[in-house]
Structure 1
Amino acid sequence: MTGKPIALVTGGAQGIGYACAEALMEDGYDMILADINAEGVAAAAEALGAVAGIVCDMENVGAISAMFDQIEAAHGPVHALVNNAGIAMPGDFLSYNLAAFEKVINVNLRGVFIAMQRAAQAMVAAGIDGAIVNMSSINAQVAIPAIPAYCASKGGVMQLTKVAALALARNNIRVNAVGPGSIDTEMMAGVNANPDAMKMAMSRTPLQRMGTAREIGDVVAFLCSKKASYVTGETIYVDGGRLGLNYTC
C-alpha cells in the first residue's frame, strides 16, 4: 500500500480507458485497470505501472461484484471510479437483433449501475469523499440509426449519472459523465481509413479534427479532482463543437 488514493478504470486496456488511467496516475492516484481482454489489461497495467490489472466482463453482474471484492481485500475501497467499458454492435434498425440490443444495454448501462452502486457502497462505509465518472457520448443527445442500442445506453448513462449524483450528494460523492465526440481510437479506425466517411465526420466538427483519447482522459481527471469539487450530475461533452452545430456542409 502506498497511501495514495485508488482509482479504477474499466475498459482500461487501451484507448480512452488507458488515457484516463494515465491522466489519473499523473494526478497522484494508484491505478487499477479492468478489462475483458486478459492479455491486454495485463500488458496495459504493466506498461502504466498500475497496482493491478483485473479481468472483468462488465456484462456479468457476479464478475463486477467479485472485482470489487478483490480490490477491496487487497487495496481498500476505490476513491475514484471511471466507468469507461462499452460496446456498440451496429446493425440495421428494422432487423436489429434483440440479443445484441440486450448485450449492449447490459454492458453499457446495467454494468455502469452495478459498478457505481458497488463502489459507492464502499465509499460511504469508509467515509470517502469519492468521485465517479461515467463515459456517455454525444449519442446521448444526437442519434445514429445504425447504433440504436448504443444510443439508448448512452442516453441512459446520462440520466443515471444525474440520479446517482442526487442520491450520493449527501455523502460527498460526486458523479459526472463525459460525452466524447469523434475520438481517434480503434472504434473510429473505419472512419480514418475512409476519406468519404472522414469528410462527413469533419463536416459536423467545427474544430475540423478528431479528438485524442488523452483529451478525454484530461477531462475525466479534472472531474475526479478537487478542481471540480462543486461539479456533480453533469455530462461534459468533449466533441470539438459538434453539438453546437445545426448544419453540415
Structure 2
Amino acid sequence: MGRLDGKVAIVTGGASGIGRAAVERFVAEGARVIVGDTDSEGIGALIGQLGHNSIDGAEVDVRDEAAVERMVNQAIRRFGRLDIAVNNAGVGGFSPIQDYPLEDWDRVLGISLTGTFLCLKHEAKRLIAQGTGGSIINIASLNAIQATEGFAAYCAAKAGVTMLTKVAALELGRHKIRVNAVGPGLVHTPATAGMLAIPGLEDAFIHEAPIGRAGEPEDIANLLTYLASDESSLMTAQTLYIDGGASVNKYPELFGFFGVG
C-alpha cells in the first residue's frame, strides 16, 4: 500500500529535474498525476515510462491563467478529483542589478512567482469546491533567505514564494487545505547543469554545505512525498529548507566565477 494511494496530484515543471522525480515518486506511492510543463517531448517521454493510466500531460506556461485553469480542470476530467499540487515551475537568471534587463526580470518573476500564484489560485479554488482538503506545496529555494550575487530577480521571486505560502496557508486552513514550501539548495538538475559546468563552482558550493554534497532530485522528492501525504497533516505555513546545511554558511561569490567586476 502506497502513502498516496487513491490521491490525484498536479506537478508543474514535471517533465525534468525535481518535478520529474516527484512525479515518479508519487506514482510509485499510488497517486495519479497531471504533469504540467512547456516541454511536450519531456511529458511524452514520462507518459511512455509510467503509463497513461497513471499520468497525463498538460502543456502549460504558468504565466497563462487560462492554461493554468485548464490544467486544473484536466485533473478533474481525467482522474476525477484533486488532492495534491506541487508548484515547481520556475526559472533563473543572472545579471548585476545595474545591468539587469527588465524583460529578464519580468520573465523570472512571471514564471517563478506570478506563475506560482496562478497555480495556487486555481488549485485552491478546486480544492475548496471539492470540500475534502488537500496539500499544496510550492517550490521556493535557499535563495529565499540567502542573498546571491547576480540573482536579484530569482532571490526576490523565491522570497515572494515563501510569503505567498504563509498567506495562502492562513487563508486556506479553514478549508483543511495545507500550504507549505520546500527550499532546495544546490541540486543536480538540467537547470543547474550549465552553471555547474564552470570549473570549480560545484566545489565552491559543496564547501559551504556541512553535509558535503549537492542534492539529487530524489532527495527533494522524498520531502515532497512527506508533505503530500497524511503524515504531515498538522504541518502548514512552513518552508522547509533542504540544502545540506548550506543556509548556515554563505553562497559562493558568483561574480568571480562569471568574470563580473
Per the TM superposition, whether the score is higher than 0.5 is yes
Structure 2 residue 1 is matched with structure 1 residue 9: no
1:171-190 Cα distance to aligned partner (Å, 9 max, x none): 11100000000111122213
1:174-222 Cα distance to aligned partner (Å, 9 max, x none): 0000000011112221354334212211121111111110000110110
Aligned match of 1:126 in 115, 130, 151?
Answer: 130
Structure 1 position 247, deviation (Å): 9.4
Give me the TM-score of the superposition, normalised by structure 1.
0.94
Give me the TM-score of the superposition, normalised by structure 2.
0.89
1:55-83 Cα distance to aligned partner (Å, 9 max, x none): 00112122111222233223233110000
Unaligned runs of 5+ in 2: 253-261
Residue aligned with 1:44, SS: helix
What's 2:237 paired with? 233
1:59–1:103 contact (8 Å) kept in structure 2: no
Q: 1:97 to 1:191 in 2, by over 3 A?
A: closer
Residue aligned with 1:128, SS: coil
2:146–2:250 contact (8 Å) kept in structure 1: no
Aligned match of 2:155 in 147, 151, 154?
Answer: 151
What's 1:47 paired with? 49
Separation in 1, partners of 2:192, 2:115: 23
Q: How does 1:160-171 map to 2 (within 5 A)?
A: 160-171=164-175
The root-mean-square deviation of aligned C-alpha atoms, in Å, is 1.8
Separation in 1, partners of 2:227, 2:25: 11
1:134–1:178 contact (8 Å) kept in structure 2: yes
Separation in 1, partners of 2:55, 2:14: 13
Unaligned runs of 5+ in 1: none
Separation in 1, partners of 2:61, 2:123: 16
Residue aligned with 1:240, SS: coil
Residue aligned with 1:176, SS: strand
Structure 1 position 245, deviation (Å): 2.8
Separation in 1, partners of 2:138, 2:50: 21
Structure 2 residue 38 is matched with structure 1 residue 26: no
Separation in 1, partners of 2:161, 2:67: 20
1:16–1:217 contact (8 Å) kept in structure 2: yes
What's 1:138 paired with? 142
Residue aligned with 1:111, SS: helix
Identity %: 37
Separation in 1, partners of 2:200, 2:189: 18
The residue type paired with residue 14 of structure 1 is S
2:205–2:251 contact (8 Å) kept in structure 1: no
2:183–2:241 contact (8 Å) kept in structure 1: yes
Q: 1:33 to 1:229 in 2, by over 3 A?
A: same
Q: How many residues align?
A: 247
2:148–2:251 contact (8 Å) kept in structure 1: no
